[in-house]
Amino acid sequence: MLREPYSKHLDDGIFELRGKVGSVISRVLYFFYYDGKIILTNGIVKKTQKTPKAEIDRAKAYRDDYLERCDKNEKV
């Protein structure tokens, strides 16, 4: 698992992968799934120091939707 400054746990199993090119700071939010799989949920270009709560909530909603669909279709 990557550690800071490349990756950071945000909340409730949601992590962010950090990237910077010049002055542009990008983040991809993700979570860990069955058998070590990493599922990417959403990405943002950060304009503030803190990751917006709305983006974390969006990642949680995508995760919950993914897990619900996977439960119906077994392992993905």
d(CA 56, CA 15): 9
Mean pLDDT of 21-32: 94
Of 40, 21, 22, 43, residue with least CA distance to 30: 40
Residue 74 pLDDT grade (very low, low, confident, very high; cuts 50, 70, 90): low
> Which residues does residue 14 pair with via DSSP β-bridges, in sequence order?
11
Mean pLDDT of 3-20: 93
d(CA 1, CA 56): 20
What residue ranges do the domains of the chain occupy? 7-73
Entry pTM? 0.87
∠3-5-41 over CA atoms, to 5°? 75
pLDDT, tens only, 38-66: 999 999 998 888 899 999 999 999 999 99
d(CA 46, CA 43): 9
